[in-house]
Amino acid sequence: MSTESMGWTAVTEATASQVLADMQASGAAQLQQTIVRFLRALALEVGSAVEVGKTPPGLPIDINGIVWYSIPIPWENVFFNYSIYPSERQIRVCDLIWVSVD
């Protein structure tokens, strides 16, 4: 999910990418697209917050010197963690947890 642009981007690490692929493979393609759009919008929101010195969305958790922000999307049964890389103008989504209720 990254292109050459002036805006901020969201990058999904391997584990999060696999969960998104699993959503699509299991017939939840619309959910997968909703999450991708959510992450793109979040990247812009985080970028705006960082650029003006405000706290980005989510619960901050320091793990080995890297601050991760945890966000639930309760209406979609999805939770994820992201970290911020201002010099690269991106957020990186590491953990993406999807609770599938059938």
Write the pLDDT tens digit of every residue in 4-45. 556 999 999 999 999 999 999 999 999 999 999 999 999 999
pTM beyond 0.75: the answer is: yes
Ramachandran angles phi, psi of 15, nearest 5°: -65, -45
Query: Tens of pLDDT along 62-84?
Result: 999 999 999 998 888 999 999 99
Phi then psi for residue 5, to 5 deg, are: -160, 175
Q: Confidence band (pLDDT; 50, 70, 90) for 87?
A: very high
Q: Write down the CATH number for the domain with range 9-98.
A: 3.30.2310
Question: φ and ψ at 54, to 5 degrees?
Answer: -95, 165
